[in-house]
Structure 1
Amino acid sequence: MRDRIEGVLSGRMRPAPARHSATVVVLRDHAVHGLQAFMLRRVRSMAFAPGAHVFPGGSVDPRDGEADLAWSGPSPAEWGAAFNADETLARELVCAAVRETFEESLVLLAGPTAESVVDDTRGDEWEADRQALLDRSQSFGRFLDRRGLVLRSDLLRPWAHWVTPAIEPKRFDTRFFVAAIPEGQRARDVSTEADQVAWVRPAEAAERARKGEWVMLPPTLATLSELAEFETVADVLAAPREIVVLEPTAEIVDGEAYLVMPESVPLLYAQG
């Protein structure tokens, strides 16, 4: 890490480009445990964040920008204003958010009409569609069109915007969304990139990360720490958010390498 910091700071090493991606924190209200988030543990063979607990998400597919898919809710222009992105990128990000969530959990934020949502995504035909999206033999727009579905962008809310530090060899420019799991749907352990899934209270997940029980990237921990302040899904969805770019920086202080969080990010780990 120190060598990379020195290389980037001196200009000897050029930071890797950050790929646009989307992450969705799927939420539910549990009768006993209260507000919970759906999380996956990445398999340890993954090149990026092996063994880390994450939310569903992934990189934008170039075809996510297809303009002819049925769309309900805030327009790409409105999403662009929220995330400081042009209309094309905003469309790609929202589509990637919905697509990746379906690919990794079978939760689908789409419905037969602009006011309805699919109530069950279990079964062989849905799994075949999921596999076709995974192997890119079917675009997300084609999937929705063939099934006669409307993307429900109104079921999403913008939450945060994080960029991987410049010293990392693999970098992502990620917009974070939050959404309630639609009534009747079930999040399932279907992702080949994960070996474990769980519904967990944000405060509990954050505490496990702070104790070293769960591996977690700073953006995930920061998001959980923020969500721990809310009691219900409705509270989260109604919370006003000002989206700013959050990019940790790497510094060498007294000969030691440190990753420094943006000033606006709450303290993630206790000091001392």
Structure 2
Amino acid sequence: MVQLPEELTLPEGFVPKTLPDPPVTPKDAATVILLREGPEVFLQRRVRGMPFAGGMTVFPGGGVDPRDADASVAWSGPVPEWWARRFGCGTELARALVCAAVRETFEESGVLLAGPGPDAVVGDTSAFADARAALVSREISLAGFLADAGLVLRADLLRPWSNWVTPEAEPRRYDTRFFLAAMPEGQRADAVTSEAVEAYWSSPRAALEDWERGRCGLLPPTWVTLTEIAEYGSVAAALAADRTPAKVLPKLVRRDGRWRAVLPGEPGYDGEGQ
């Protein structure tokens, strides 16, 4: 894994003055790295007042809903058992993670990784605008939406990428599995979400340059992911990467009056951060 730059610090107020004791148990979550040719990634700048990652530039994603584990969801592609092996978790959780990835991507960007059959994908999602709003408000579940629309979840359009756990010092913690997916032909990603103030496509290198110039804020998982994706010359090459993610638990250390994340294997990870 790439090392984090010394300049990557957390905004003031991001870490509470009184650290949780004991640490908060992480909630399961899913994040999707949407790719289109360039390659470019789809990014969103979160509303500054959000309780988690406010003001930061991120990929679409969010927490697992208990209904995401519904075994009745119409499914095409690698079975939950396959995902469970890749992410090192139980089958029920693996199913919920894949469903959460599809649901959150649709809710936050309008991109729907589903189709009328196992070999097809929706070309225009505008007809499902009401269902999208109902998913956001939790009036319906993903399984119910897909069943009513006659759609099949396309798990084969997703790839496992990484698994990041929020540091123990933070009051809101997530065990987040990152997925990779190519932008479906005919669909468009939008900014119709209350959680972001802007959304845009960018090459990974351009996004990292924006961070270097202070134009956006990146959390360690986003910085590392952008750095990794930047090494691939095409969407196909990135999708072909064979990855079995291991959990990455950064630690927060206080240096020169600023909080910094330290990854396993980096200097200071096994020491005490003050």
8 Å CA contact retained: 2:30, 2:178: yes
Which residue in the other structure is 1:225 paired with?
227
> Does residue 102 of structure 2 align to residue 98 of structure 1?
yes
> Does residue 211 of structure 2 align to residue 209 of structure 1?
yes
Alignment of 1:108-187 (within 5 A): 108-123=112-127, 126-187=128-189
8 Å CA contact retained: 1:23, 1:174: yes
What TM-score does the superposition give when structure 1 sets the normalisation length? 0.88
Alignment of 1:42-61 (within 5 A): 42-61=46-65
Instruction: Write the letter of the residue equivalent to 1:192.
Output: S
**Consecutive unaligned residues in structure 1, runs of 5 or more:** 265-272
> Does residue 44 of structure 2 align to residue 40 of structure 1?
yes
Which segment drifts farther, 241-250 or 58-67? 241-250
Report runs of 4+ in structure 1 exceeding 3 Å deviation.
Answer: 1-4, 251-258
Alignment of 1:14-33 (within 5 A): 14-29=22-37
Which residue in the other structure is 2:10 paired with?
none
* Alignment CA distance shift 1:255-1:186 (3 Å): closer
8 Å CA contact retained: 1:2, 1:257: no
Q: CA deviation at 1:209?
A: 1.6
8 Å CA contact retained: 2:47, 2:54: yes
User: Aligned partners of 2:56 and 2:102: how far apart in 1?
Assistant: 22
* Alignment CA distance shift 1:214-1:75 (3 Å): same
Superposition RMSD in Å: 1.7
Name the count of aligned residue pairs.
Answer: 252
SS at match of 1:166: coil
User: Aligned partners of 2:202 and 2:142: how far apart in 1?
Assistant: 29
> Does residue 196 of structure 2 align to residue 188 of structure 1?
no
**Consecutive unaligned residues in structure 2, runs of 5 or more:** 1-14, 267-274
* Alignment CA distance shift 1:50-1:255 (3 Å): closer
What TM-score does the superposition give when structure 2 sets the normalisation length? 0.88
User: Aligned partners of 1:130 and 1:258: how far apart in 2?
Assistant: 37
8 Å CA contact retained: 1:2, 1:252: no
Q: CA deviation at 1:256?
A: 7.4
- Could you tell me the percent identity over the aligned residues? 50
8 Å CA contact retained: 2:81, 2:94: yes
Q: CA deviation at 1:252?
A: 5.2
8 Å CA contact retained: 1:76, 1:90: yes
8 Å CA contact retained: 2:113, 2:121: yes
